């Protein structure tokens, strides 16, 4: 069972916490993480690209010249793909790229990412984010005290406007909730900062 130190926002160690093996101590499954990541990125695609076929561009109602006798190649319409301002042959049309993966795979991918954060010592546990007011300066100070550098994901158990608004203007820092967590964010952000309540919520949801 992984044991990790707990700090306050001044950066002082206040206790330790035991993390559940089935969430924070499994062997990361890279194949499943990759599969779920590709699925997430595919589902973000809008699929709104569109080109016009020869039936959708304007003009070209009649044959531009007679079939034989002109010495030129036969043509049926001035809106065929080989003509300037003609239609596009085999171009993209609006479509959905969405597909689903097994729910168990998604859960395994999340647990693999969380376990990887523990293994690589990129998980920081805070007793709580007790910010008195919405102030970016206070959040920057807290992250500095915790010695968190680089891209950082702050994972909260529930909506907290004081924390979320204090962090939203800091470059490379993002806040998200346990019920909206995804593999993409866990991989994109090097550091993961969680509160004790977040740990409990994760263990309730993914145990």
Tokens at 63, concatenated: 């044959």
**pTM of the full predicted structure?**
0.84
Q: What is the mean pLDDT of residues 43-63?
A: 93
Q: For the chain, what is the mean pLDDT?
A: 93
Q: What is the pLDDT of residue 130?
A: 82
**Do 116 and 171 share a domain, yes or no?**
yes
Indicate whether 41 pLDDT > 80: yes
* Predicted pLDDT of residue 106: 95
Considering 34, 65, 96, which residue would you say is the last residue of a domain? 96
Same-domain check for residues 156 and 117: yes
Please state the rounded mean pLDDT for residues 165-182.
94
With a cut of 90, say whether residue 136 has pLDDT above it: yes
Q: Specify the pLDDT at position 80.
A: 94
Confidence of residue 132 (pLDDT cuts 50, 70, 90): confident
**Residue where a domain stops, chosen among 31, 63, 96:** 96
Q: How far apart are CA 158 and CA 169, in angstroms?
A: 20
Tens-place pLDDT, residues 6-22: 999 998 999 999 999 99
| Helix then strand then coil, % of the chain, to nearest 5 | 35, 15, 50
pLDDT band at 2 (very low <50, low <70, confident <90, very high): confident
Of 116, 117, 111, nearest to 192 by C-alpha is 117
Does the pLDDT value for residue 122 go beyond 80?
yes
Structural domain ending residue among the three candidates 96, 130, 157: 96
> Are both 30 and 54 inside the same structural domain?
no
Cα-Cα-Cα-Cα torsion 192, 195, 201, 202, nearest 10 degrees, comes to: 20
What stretches of the chain show up as alpha helix (H) in DSSP?
21-24, 30-44, 103-119, 136-145, 161-167, 183-188, 196-206
The total domain count for the chain is: 2
Domain that holds residue 180: 3-45+101-206
Distance CA 191, CA 10 (A): 18
């Amino acid at each position: 069972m992984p044991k990790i130190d707990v700090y306050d926002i001044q950066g002082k160690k206040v206790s330790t916490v035991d993390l559940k093996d089935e969430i924070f101590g499994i062997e990361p499954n890279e194949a499943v993480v990759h599969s779920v990541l590709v699925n997430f990125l595919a589902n973000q695609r809008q699929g709104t690209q569109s080109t016009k076929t020869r039936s959708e561009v304007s003009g070209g109602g009649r044959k531009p010249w007679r079939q034989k006798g002109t010495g030129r190649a036969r043509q049926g319409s001035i809106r065929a793909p080989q003509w300037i301002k003609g239609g596009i042959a085999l171009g993209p049309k609006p479509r959905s790229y969405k597909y689903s993966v097994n729910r168990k795979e998604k859960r395994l991918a999340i647990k693999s990412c969380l376990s990887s954060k523990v293994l690589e010592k990129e998980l920081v546990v805070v007793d709580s984010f007790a910010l008195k007011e919405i102030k970016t300066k206070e959040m920057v100070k807290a992250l500095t005290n915790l010695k968190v550098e680089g891209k950082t994901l702050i994972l909260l158990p529930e909506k907290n406007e004081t924390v979320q608004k204090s962090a939203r203007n800091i470059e490379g820092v993002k806040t998200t909730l346990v019920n909206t967590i995804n593999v993409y964010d866990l991989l994109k952000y090097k550091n993961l900062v969680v509160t004790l309540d977040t740990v409990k919520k994760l263990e309730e949801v993914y145990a």
